[in-house]
Amino acid sequence: MNYIVKDESAIYYEANYSCDNALFLKLGTESFLITDSRYEIEAKESVKGGISVLITKNLYKLANSLIKNSQIKKIVYDPKEWSIFAFRELSKNLNIKFKKRVDFSHKKRIIKERYELELLSISAKLGAEAFDRLAKRINRSGFKKDEYNLTYKTKEALSKKGKYHLSFEPIVAINANSAKPHAMPTTERLKRGDLLLVDAGLKYKRYCSDRTRTVYAKEGFSFSINQRFKSKKIQKIYDTVLKAHDVAISKARSGMKAKKIDSFARDIISKAGFGDYFVHSTGHGVGLDIHEMPYINSKSDTIIEDGMVYTIEPGIYLPNEFGVRIEDMVAMVNGRATIL
């Protein structure tokens, strides 16, 4: 198959290297990593064997020339990766068929190789350790600090002083702000007895982790999944979300459609009377990107298979009151979901 990819994660998957100005081109038996002179040394040190590293000032012009000289008749690309300008530059004066395949790389990567499962497992474990570090830091110096400061502490704990990149911008939300699934930090300050939600992850060798915990922020608290709140209402909702999380993981099987796994979590929340307050999907794939296939939602007909990795993250969000979300990453192994 002849194809070209532009997305950084897609390039890395093909070549074991990527940067912010590169293309990967597969033409018959030949493969090319095209970049500029700023990245020449690292690219030549890192790319897989058999891939030619080409250095140029104009990526699209060189790719265009290689395609033209190859005399191929069609090439696959993902239109999501390309701006109108970039695609025009690439395809200028080429008499070939550009075949659109949306999510081309994500579909190739949906079932993880053994080494990828190992890297994702390490990433998830490192992420869990970072949550432990964060709890200690908040207990030591986080109370009376606002969400901006707590977000900074979260980044510091996850990155381990710059050793790891973050999977995404962490979400740190107190009380009413936690009712926003993707809350932005505010000047709300953490007090003992508050509800605190943290959604964060780090990357290990480019593979992401993703975890959410909602806790009762009393003195000496931890990010354990077992939480006891003073408020009966919060406790009821927390227990409902935890049950949805546990049941979806325990009942997930290879061979099921993704929407069936979504229904395991959604049905529990709906039966408890909070269906209207579960406003997002039950989960999403994780890999080189923080959001990949498969998507665990109510419309997905994707058949779940061994080797897939995804999150289970049910939530209930009561506007102007509070929100609860509990999230773990799972891998499908021997037909069942195993928490990483």
Q: Give the fold, CATH level 3, of 3-108.
A: Creatine Amidinohydrolase; Chain A, domain 1 (3.40.350)
Please provide the distance, in angstroms rounded to a whole number, between the alpha carbons at the two ends of the chain: 34
| The amino acid at 282 | T
pLDDT tens-place values along the chain, 340 residues long: 999 999 999 999 999 999 999 999 999 999 999 999 999 999 999 998 899 999 999 999 999 999 999 989 999 999 999 999 999 999 999 999 999 999 999 999 999 999 999 999 999 999 999 999 999 999 999 999 999 999 999 999 999 989 999 999 999 999 999 999 999 999 999 999 999 999 999 999 999 999 999 999 999 999 999 999 999 999 999 999 999 999 999 999 999 999 999 999 999 999 999 999 999 999 999 999 999 999 999 999 999 999 999 999 999 999 999 999 999 999 999 999 999 9
What is the structure's pLDDT at 161? 87
Does the domain made of 114-339 have the CATH classification 3.90.230.10? yes
Cis before 185? omega within 30: no
CB 186 within 8 A of CB 138: no
What is the C-alpha separation between 169 and 245, in angstroms, rounded? Answer: 23
The pair of structure tokens assigned to 230 is: 């003073």
Q: Which residues contact 58 (CB under 8 A, 6 or more apart)?
A: none
The pair of structure tokens assigned to 289 is: 């990107």
Q: Where are the domains of the chain?
A: 3-108, 114-339
Q: Which residues contact 223 (CB under 8 A, 6 or more apart)?
A: 131, 132, 134, 135, 198, 213, 215
Cα 179 from chain centre: 21
What is the C-alpha separation between 156 and 273, in angstroms, rounded? Answer: 38
Strands 74-77 and 97-100: parallel
What is the C-alpha separation between 215 and 316, in angstroms, rounded? Answer: 14
Q: Is 179 helix (H, G, I), strand (E, B) or coil?
A: helix
Cα 56 from chain centre: 32
Burial of 35 (0-12, 13-18, 19+ CB in 10 A): buried
CA atoms within 13 A of residue 338's CA, in its CB half-sphere: 14
Q: What global pTM score does this model have?
A: 0.94
CB 174 within 8 A of CB 196: yes
The pair of structure tokens assigned to 92 is: 């200028």
